[in-house]
Structure 1
């Protein structure tokens, strides 16, 4: 079995692979309601989405033999941490 390599999303191609990855997993599931691609792109747009005015996030892809086999987003919201007197981050978009 070959090694799984995790790398941070940096290129436009990686970003598109990150956004479209769930289709390869759930496309045949009759209960799956896919998100709108335009909405996912807007959600991850660092220049326009309001979250990025105060928070930060990093996207990661897992690859095995050059094929994407997983994804995850790690985020940090300093405003949340200040209000709740905490120091936590969150994970999301985990497949």
Structure 2
């Protein structure tokens, strides 16, 4: 079990606005100020994703991506960044 030969990868998404913590307010139809005190809904807030790799030798670059990380985008990131990680962090074979 030599962890110095292992490269882990991880990704995470961050929303610009946290849409999961909504507050609902009920207003009656005859409340004249019901629209005055309300705020418009924000749709399609978007977010940002980050990907990187930690090793026992150090941390790789942080890669930013838009939207969700599907298999094609993930494969592109791996193809672009893992060869550099292998050269930089893993020992050369004899």
- Asked if these proteins are the same fold (TM beyond 0.5), I'd say no
- TM-score, normalised by the number of residues in structure 2: 0.30
Greater share of residues in helix: 1
Larger RCO (CA within 8 A; separation ≥ 6): 2
